[in-house]
Structure 1
């Protein structure tokens, strides 16, 4: 047996004040209804009678980020837990929660944490996770304490004695124990229980921040402790090892814990004859039935959609030293099993399941599913009942066990399910509004008060989002202002008296209104889309990377743009400016996503599964976890079925058949009837018998920019006979151009266009263009300044390269036989890399073609979901899920009759600084120089990983860009939220004068 080392370490104490931004009587500045514009929803957490809603204020002893009177509020509350005596409520965060010391204030004493704390550019001792301690002995919750924890990932449970609680330590590979002091407070000296994985998980990764070209081999992902559960007698503790596909079993009880055994949940690790059989992967949550020799653990496996049932072997004095925990059975479930709860008698286990939008009821005697309860179907119009998208993610029982409460993350509500007692006919009897993306719900001991926490909030503008320098000693520095998207989304704590049935009916109607359940298209809109659909046979869908509206079009002569926030204006992006002028300027378009991780899912499928919502803030805070949203899980290409084929495609692949076997992508959405992983736009096209061609979507990029096994940077790989793309999507693989390079900042979009053009000319110029073409032009992300070829090695030239590629493709279509029956849709997957004076989600979007209005300014508020719904309408496709079913087609941009159109692409003058084969330089053209040479950017961004989108630290990366492009010019924060559509001529003239 391995004994845990009881090492204590300190966390600084914080203040004890209670800050409530909202109460039962909100002021004009604290509205009862708040819009979530990038989702097309609204939230009303104060709708329940007597409700209170407050942010989670960390109570820093001094203000590190904002002017006096403002506070630092944390993000991504994920789990609640009620003490055995029902007097204390714990709230855990697992989010971004990184704080920059913008005032250069002294930091408190350092915290000793395993492993290394965050980078020194951050307030390391506050850039952590949090446990909020509330007194709930009275109906009005009172905040008593805030504890800082170095790392967490969702798991939180009280010891049955009530004298301690346990925190899953995420990538630290620890469980942290918080003990109660003699005065009733909680000690800020946690006892860590090591899980012993020595920094190694199952998968393939690069250490955060390590430049890929500097390493010769790939390394494993880090571990991640997730769900944690304890037996009723307090003698057995079980931890789900999310990235080791195992559970760790501790025995001995509080103060005496020892790590008894670890059990690998994968079939091939307990039975060699089942090597390569999927099972037990991404274990997330744990519930324990029984105690001592009868203890049984139920473990939710998100990837393999099963509940693994484990006999734990008994209490310490009964253990056979040779014995081990044993898997009894595996219970298959339809959706992705999330949090679970047992009834008091432990005869039934209730499992919240994302993607399926159900709660499964498992009989723990027979270990079978005896009922599946839909979480919303009875509360939506019949036309919507077929669609999924609620993201149910937690479940709790009322004390009398007559009601089940389920948080529906994506619908911002709690579903109330009436239980009949015989596991039949149970159904949702009402929905209760919450804050944005609820993650957990608990009840008071008497069941009369409900407590809910949510992860996010609307962001608003971020004009002070500063990208100042960082780099070698003495390099110019401009600390950011904590306005990065994951920082701007704030958690909330809602509490309210249990509604009576009459009030519940009213609240259900409010949820329906908040989510636009009853919205219908007008006859006029339907007629417009019918005309466009009849006249359109082809859609080309181009996805770009990470820019805001003000960054690109802030200097346009029309629209609500702020030129002072423009980094890549007309001189750099003439084609996008020309697109906006020639067709439609969409100056009120918002990307639904926060970052690229969820962005690729929102943009290609209209939903982000709960597993993605939980992972992205941790990954972007550099606290571990991989980016799984483009077909690789833990950097393993799971679209390839066999180990031999995986190794042929990527020799870095570990030689282990049990590492993520099968072709299930954990982060992928489901199609209709829970058809696993087929919830993307192209899957919908396939179901409608439409044709698809893929250029750059879902490509495994692991072998780009590495020393060993590198895929070369060939400008014409087709004629060289060298494959440069390995698809990471099962359904897209047969339709993918294998010579179109995926995400790689070292490679110009110019040559991506040339490969698209080669394929177009050889296969489609005279006919047969697919119904849906997917094209990835990604160089507006920028990066890899030291390895970029053809001299396209500064932010300006890379964004200009992207702009030119887009322009050339549109020109090609305009001069082809497809000009009259093709629409080209262009979008950024997210807007995380820039400042915007309207909303941090506002971005550019363009549509070109014969049915698009010309020379129009359209300020209708649209978002990514509306964009997708429009493509579906044009192609005659049904919605994929609730989100796009509730979206509105962008009818304001279309005419019902086609108009002649043309487009001529022009390279930015900036590109004449490169070696790209451009048209001859026009006479008299003045070639502007980039703000700095590539060597500047290489030094400034030393150590950053541009191998794939968002592997860099986004905060550091973005503030370097502003400093390098703008020098010491500050952001004009005074323009926040202003409508700048009027008097554009005078505004732009002042801007031009200020830049001389």
Structure 2
């Protein structure tokens, strides 16, 4: 079938003034017009990504289908095949072979593994690791478990047939391991075709495989988290994302059970290395220090080029000297620098290096002959998040693998006349890009600059822009100018889309048929009667593991490039840690601490908790916490005091978190109602107010809108929503009745929007901006409707302008503060919370959860409901304390069915499904990870 994704005519799309051959840092800025565009394809052929970057990919796009995440690409050296292979995740197969001339798919390939006398298939690819032998007769590729597969390649068609798969050893037993898989990464076939080398990312080793008999010859220890391998003569060079191995004197933090040498404040990795292996001895003979998070590599002559993802540089290694002889800056070309270009792949064409910049949706063209400071010639626009690049000599074009491609654009048809979208419907692609000449490159560079907003007014950050005599306003124009707001409260909720919560509101862009929780959240509806109703706000993330980093780190490079969507080493964010996911830019809270501001955290970025058991050794239940809250809220008139105060103790692994984390506010635990969290926080807040010590920045995790299916002993999804909504309303009421209210702003957002559907885009989320300085209602009882295109990074930038914090990455640097959501005249009227209109304590069967009161009515469960109840019990057992630890497809189905009273099929399906199919599908995932 002819590929449907083709190059669009972008001529005249952007009227720019910057032409940047011999690129210099961008000194000037031009105002970006206010935009109300929605995420997705635009009429002019461009695409708006969920992080509000524009996509105008050059060349031809290869349609790989959906859902699919494209991770790495390799060119078949047999030119007559005109073929290449792309390594995939979240797809029906790990490899697609395509024609490099037409872009048409030649084959969708699943390897088979001999298990006794039975062949079984495995559809998982890995985050990198696909390589042809020099003669093109074999293809070696990694899978994200313990397998590395080798296929025979037809010399004429390029099609694959199974040769063998090798089961590689698991990492040594370690209670801190994320799972028991070696998580294979970069692979290469040595020149004579006799050996294959594979990086065992979780083992911190390289496996050497005999390609004649398919056996593991040896396993060589290297640095931490090996990523990619290239060979030169008798040596192999291995990039180690986690740097050198730790010594007893090092300060460390863990990544997948491995101690990583880290910063003593924000716990980010402080070393990056390349290990040199002698292929005759199988031993490491040299460790070369490079930049941070070294990933993709390429060789040319006696030189090896290493992409340092967290340094925004390229290290050049001379293989004769075995040391770095040059470092090339490929960072964001903004005066003063901006972290986060995201170099991750390299292809060498003559005297030019083409470097994929994952977070800039571009390829940087780098002049290797010029010794001047400025080496970047220009940029080529790609699709969303390029991860890998190769040069096809036969067609003289760059072949670029784009992880997220054209975004999460796979739509689900519904029975209600709309199409719905979900964050897991990625549409990864491959770009086929002819090498541009200088004139073409200059035009492409202009597009990349505009696509990334590198020339917007928002980049004017620094003391030279701040007016020290400026009058205080709600949102200062420049960071460093005074604000009327002194106390910022950031409240993080879990996983909901805009349509689920507010899709019923006719004054905004909603779909009532998808507003399954609207009736359960009266406080959130009350907010938007007075405060702004924002209907065009997006979470860039796929799910919690990258959602929390997007909020507190203004980006999630490692999760996107390495971990997602199969979560190779960890499931970071919220209450799970991984040292390799942190950057040297630090966090929102550490930026505030460095400025001398008072910061307090409740739940967010806790790394673990301990709850003291009952006297009989059993654990407290949801009902126990519910009764305890009810007892406190009614001064003992209702409920019972069952859970002693401070029974929950939280801990953190990041030093900057440890000193500001409240030790007894519960983090993610679905066995604890949000009323319990609200009770605890309100008491703490009132004590802070009485002492005159309300923090400048307070971050609160209020997670129970996540829900837990239809699990016995827990509320149904609608009732979880009611609990979360009431807790949120009570917290806002407490703040608005305080002396601090006159100088406060409350920002409420979801970490992601993965557990629902939305008719605009799966990343669209409900957000609330609550302050005396919030923009006035557009009419009585109707908050001003804001259609401006915003993401979580606009919230971060607004907070930074208020508190005078330096932006962390290019994303919050280029994001506009949310000026249109605020005014400079205060309305000090307190907010009064709305009592819940949905009972908080209703569980499966429609009756109160055992121990929470007598049933005034009962509803007999149908066979279908009973089946889902039992399946929920099975799927959620032991997982209440970790975000997203239940298979998302199962959870999304049961949430939808319960929220629609078991009357509506899940979007895109013709009837309500029995749970067995989804339970089986979840169990068949080769790696059961927190997805």
> What is aligned with 1:91?
85
> What is aligned with 2:659?
734
> What is aligned with 2:72?
79
Structure 1 pair 816–849 and aligned structure 2 pair: CA distance change class (3 A) = same
> What is aligned with 1:299?
239
> What is aligned with 2:233?
290
Q: Secondary structure at the match of 2:740?
A: coil
Which of 337, 340, 343 is equivalent to 1:389?
A: 340
Work out the CA distance in 1 between the residues paired with 2:907 and 2:886: 27
Shift of 1:374: 1.4
Work out the CA distance in 1 between the residues paired with 2:201 and 2:236: 19
Structure 1 pair 76–555 and aligned structure 2 pair: CA distance change class (3 A) = same
Residue 755 of structure 2 is aligned to residue 771 of structure 1: no
Shift of 1:508: 0.6
Residue 422 of structure 2 is aligned to residue 491 of structure 1: no
Which of 200, 222, 244 is equivalent to 1:241?
A: 200
Work out the CA distance in 1 between the residues paired with 2:175 and 2:754: 28
Shift of 1:191: 1.2
> What is aligned with 2:56?
44
Residue 485 of structure 2 is aligned to residue 536 of structure 1: yes
Work out the CA distance in 1 between the residues paired with 2:196 and 2:471: 58
Shift of 1:381: 3.8
> What is aligned with 2:167?
194
Which of 796, 799, 812 is equivalent to 2:718?
A: 796
> What is aligned with 1:556?
505
Deviations 1:921-978 (A, max 9, x none): xxxxx9999997997763242422333111111111111111222122357999xxxx
Work out the CA distance in 1 between the residues paired with 2:536 and 2:619: 40
Which of 567, 576, 588 is equivalent to 2:536?
A: 588
Q: Secondary structure at the match of 1:666?
A: helix
Within 5 Å, give how 1:84-123 maps onto structure 2. 84-87=77-80, 88-97=82-91
Q: Is the 8 A contact 1:466 1:962 kept in 2?
A: no
Work out the CA distance in 2 between the residues paired with 1:526 and 1:805: 32
Shift of 1:257: 4.4
> What is aligned with 1:859?
787
Shift of 1:858: 1.5
Within 5 Å, give how 1:591-602 maps onto structure 2. 591-602=539-550
> What is aligned with 2:285?
328
Which of 438, 454, 458 is equivalent to 2:407?
A: 458
Within 5 Å, give how 1:918-933 maps onto structure 2. none
Deviations 1:694-732 (A, max 9, x none): 100112247679999998567479964544212243211
Deviations 1:555-601 (A, max 9, x none): 2353222221111113x111111111121111121222121111111
Q: Secondary structure at the match of 2:345?
A: strand
> What is aligned with 2:328?
373
Q: Secondary structure at the match of 1:879?
A: coil
Which of 580, 590, 596 is equivalent to 1:666?
A: 580
Shift of 1:200: 6.7
Q: Is the 8 A contact 1:564 1:971 kept in 2?
A: no
Work out the CA distance in 2 between the residues paired with 1:931 and 1:901: 46
Work out the CA distance in 2 between the residues paired with 1:775 and 1:930: 36
Give the alignment's Cα RMSD to 1 decimal: 3.5
Residue 314 of structure 2 is aligned to residue 359 of structure 1: yes
Q: Is the 8 A contact 2:140 2:196 kept in 1?
A: no
Deviations 1:117-159 (A, max 9, x none): xxxxxxxxxx3322223255xxx55543332352221101111
> What is aligned with 1:923?
none
Q: Secondary structure at the match of 1:503?
A: helix
TM-score by length of 2: 0.78
Work out the CA distance in 2 between the residues paired with 1:157 and 1:453: 14
Shift of 1:361: 1.0
Deviations 1:480-525 (A, max 9, x none): 99954222x2122222321111221111111111111111159999
> What is aligned with 2:154?
181
Structure 1 pair 528–512 and aligned structure 2 pair: CA distance change class (3 A) = farther
> What is aligned with 2:591?
684
Structure 1 pair 721–611 and aligned structure 2 pair: CA distance change class (3 A) = closer
Shift of 1:813: 0.8
Shift of 1:900: 1.9
Which of 810, 817, 839 is equivalent to 1:889?
A: 817
> What is aligned with 1:725?
650
Q: Secondary structure at the match of 2:315?
A: strand
Work out the CA distance in 2 between the residues paired with 1:912 and 1:949: 21
Structure 1 pair 389–465 and aligned structure 2 pair: CA distance change class (3 A) = farther
Shift of 1:831: 1.1
Shift of 1:537: 0.7
Q: Is the 8 A contact 2:358 2:387 kept in 1?
A: yes
Q: Is the 8 A contact 1:306 1:330 kept in 2?
A: no
Shift of 1:547: 0.5
Residue 900 of structure 2 is aligned to residue 943 of structure 1: no
> What is aligned with 1:309?
275
Residue 90 of structure 2 is aligned to residue 133 of structure 1: no
Residue 887 of structure 2 is aligned to residue 953 of structure 1: yes
Deviations 1:318-337 (A, max 9, x none): xxxxxx63222322233211
Q: Is the 8 A contact 1:813 1:819 kept in 2?
A: yes
Residue 14 of structure 2 is aligned to residue 21 of structure 1: no
Within 5 Å, give how 1:268-283 maps onto structure 2. 280-283=223-226
- Which runs of 5 or more residues in structure 1 are unaligned? 1-16, 58-72, 98-126, 207-219, 266-279, 315-323, 468-479, 639-664, 672-677, 916-925, 975-996
Shift of 1:235: 3.0
- Which runs of 5 or more residues in structure 2 are unaligned? 14-40, 112-122, 244-259, 261-270, 629-641, 778-783, 844-854, 910-931
Shift of 1:614: 3.1
Q: Is the 8 A contact 1:711 1:724 kept in 2?
A: no
Structure 1 pair 910–854 and aligned structure 2 pair: CA distance change class (3 A) = same
Structure 1 pair 912–485 and aligned structure 2 pair: CA distance change class (3 A) = closer
Which of 821, 830, 840 is equivalent to 2:752?
A: 830
Structure 1 pair 563–191 and aligned structure 2 pair: CA distance change class (3 A) = same
Q: Is the 8 A contact 1:166 1:178 kept in 2?
A: yes
Deviations 1:844-882 (A, max 9, x none): 000111111232221222111111111111111121110
Structure 1 pair 333–709 and aligned structure 2 pair: CA distance change class (3 A) = farther
Q: Is the 8 A contact 2:71 2:401 kept in 1?
A: yes
Work out the CA distance in 1 between the residues paired with 2:617 and 2:320: 52
TM-score by length of 1: 0.73
Q: Is the 8 A contact 1:132 1:143 kept in 2?
A: yes
Q: Secondary structure at the match of 2:763?
A: coil
Work out the CA distance in 1 between the residues paired with 2:711 and 2:433: 56
Shift of 1:32: 5.8
Q: Secondary structure at the match of 1:944?
A: helix
Q: Secondary structure at the match of 1:248?
A: strand
Deviations 1:270-323 (A, max 9, x none): xxxxxxxxxx222111122213xxx34433234654334243351xxxxxxxxx
Work out the CA distance in 2 between the residues paired with 1:608 and 1:525: 36
Within 5 Å, give how 1:506-525 maps onto structure 2. 506-520=443-457
Of stretches 176-185 and 402-411 in structure 1, the one that deviates more from structure 2 is 176-185
Deviations 1:2-41 (A, max 9, x none): xxxxxxxxxxxxxxx4424314669999966423252122
Structure 1 pair 973–134 and aligned structure 2 pair: CA distance change class (3 A) = closer
Q: Secondary structure at the match of 2:650?
A: coil
> What is aligned with 1:228?
187
Q: Is the 8 A contact 1:134 1:141 kept in 2?
A: yes
> What is aligned with 2:601?
694
Deviations 1:329-378 (A, max 9, x none): 322233211111121x3x2211111121111112223332222211144x
Structure 1 pair 594–709 and aligned structure 2 pair: CA distance change class (3 A) = farther
> What is aligned with 2:63?
55
Deviations 1:419-448 (A, max 9, x none): 017x66461101011111111222222683
